[in-house]
Amino acid sequence: MTVRVQAWGVIAAVLADQDPAGAAIRQRLSNRLGENPGVPERALLEYLLERRQQDAALEGARDTACSAQPLSAVPPHLAERLDALRSLSRISALLENQMLMTAFQPIYGLESRSVVGVEALSRFVSDDGAGAELWFAEAAAVGLGANLEFSALGSAALAAANLPEHLYVAMNISPASCLDPRLPELFDHIELPIGRIVLELTDGIPDDQYSHFISAITPLRERGLRIAIDDSHSSAGTLSRMLHLRPDFIKLGRSVISGVDRDPTQHAVAACMVEFATQIGSVVVAEGVETADELTALTELGFSAGQGYLLGRPSVRPKDWAAWNVPLDPDELRYLSADSGRAIPGTDGR
């Protein structure tokens, strides 16, 4: 549903209210419509802005004689629609103005001790400082989740032109967006070869969508696309599901990695996952590697790759990305692990 359609819905609901107490509200909204012919969303937003300013003046001056109805007095069902409209407007503006950029976090091959790939992480240009997860959640709530995810994929593919050409690029996407028919078209219009792209699922695959997901993703995998799943998502992380899906990468997070160097149980779980991944032909990646001792244990267990603050923090700077051809120095890693305030050279520390 577009911003304009939702705006007309809210406007119609306000104007249809016959409560005499709301006559002044309806008149002000009608005035805004007259000033913005054919652009109802602008009329509604100007009206809301005026109401907010009036409410602020009321609260500051404590002027009870003012006849304006406070915004909080809007009926709950209309307030919900107004909130949805604001979110829709925010996400639409973000997409239109391309207010996002890409940070890359290095993924190291533990045997070669060199960068083998990166994970693309979205960074949003906004005044409220909201994190990426909040933006994607808000977009999904108003039906623009796939739009925002595809915009992020396009941004990452464009930024990847500055990466060393041998690195694969892991891009986050929801299973729902994998079902969107625009996804194959996206790969036809970006310059990053599909063989360098890894789609990292950000959530589990619902049982009722699993067969559709397989049908949608299989043709892309046949073209060279790879997929990664995270053990933190229960429906995607079950052994039976992974056995059928046979992802190219299995990423194990802090729930497994934390204490792997000193906790026998954690060590045993990690060893079992490495064996399982080997049997189904997947590459196992350790996420959240924070200490040199963890890294040593993971290497000895046979983990193929690692990612985490010890190995490199996300960076938006191409000069950092270019430096990721340099092999890791084990002594430097141990030194930096002991000093949590520092990061490996070639990262921006964010």
Q: What is the DSSP letter of 71?
A: G
pLDDT score, position 173: 94
Q: Greater confidence, 41 or 32? A: 32
Average pLDDT for the chain: 79
Q: Is the confidence at residue 125, as pLDDT, over 80?
A: no
Kindly indicate the confidence band of residue 69, based on its pLDDT and cuts at 50, 70 and 90.
very low
Kindly indicate the confidence band of residue 13, based on its pLDDT and cuts at 50, 70 and 90.
low
pLDDT score, position 11: 67
- Which of these, 338, 308, 322, 335, lies nearest to 108 by C-alpha position? 308
Contact predicate 297/337, CB 8 Å: no
- Strands 197-201 and 168-173, how do they pair? parallel
Please give the single-letter amino acid code of residue 89.
S
- Which of these, 301, 287, 233, lies nearest to 117 by C-alpha position? 287
pLDDT score, position 66: 42
Q: Which residues contact 215 (CB under 8 A, 6 or more apart)?
A: none
Residue count (the chain): 350
Q: Is the confidence at residue 344, as pLDDT, over 50?
A: no
Contact predicate 9/81, CB 8 Å: yes
Contact predicate 293/271, CB 8 Å: no
pLDDT score, position 129: 55
Contact predicate 316/103, CB 8 Å: yes
Q: Greater confidence, 145 or 334? A: 145
The burial class, CB within 10 Å (0-12 / 13-18 / 19+), for 298 is buried
Kindly indicate the confidence band of residue 132, based on its pLDDT and cuts at 50, 70 and 90.
confident
Which stretch of DSSP H or E encloses residue 101?
A: strand 100-109
Contact predicate 288/257, CB 8 Å: yes
Q: Per residue in 166-217, pLDDT tens? A: 999 999 999 999 999 999 999 988 999 999 999 999 888 888 889 999 999 9
Q: d(Cα 265, Cα 277) in Å, to the nearest integer?
A: 18
Most confident of 15-24, 129-138, 258-267, 318-327: 258-267
Q: Is the confidence at residue 28, as pLDDT, over 60?
A: yes
* β-bridge mates for residue 100, sequence order: 124
Structure tokens at 124: 């949003």
Q: d(Cα 337, Cα 321) in Å, to the nearest integer?
A: 21
Q: Greater confidence, 200 or 17? A: 200
Kindly indicate the confidence band of residue 75, based on its pLDDT and cuts at 50, 70 and 90.
low
Longest dimension (CA), the chain: 77
Which stretch of DSSP H or E encloses residue 318?
A: helix 318-322
Q: What is the pTM of this model?
A: 0.72
- Which of these, 150, 115, 121, 157, lies nearest to 316 by C-alpha position? 121
Q: Which of 149-158, 189-198, 200-209, 333-342 has the lowest mean pLDDT?
A: 333-342
Residue 313, classed as helix, strand or coil, is coil
Structure tokens at 224: 């060279």
CA 176 to chain centre: 13
- Strands 100-109 and 114-124, how do they pair? antiparallel
* β-bridge mates for residue 115, sequence order: 108
pLDDT score, position 31: 80
Q: Per residue in 256-274, pLDDT tens? A: 898 999 999 999 989 998 9
* β-bridge mates for residue 285, sequence order: 251, 305
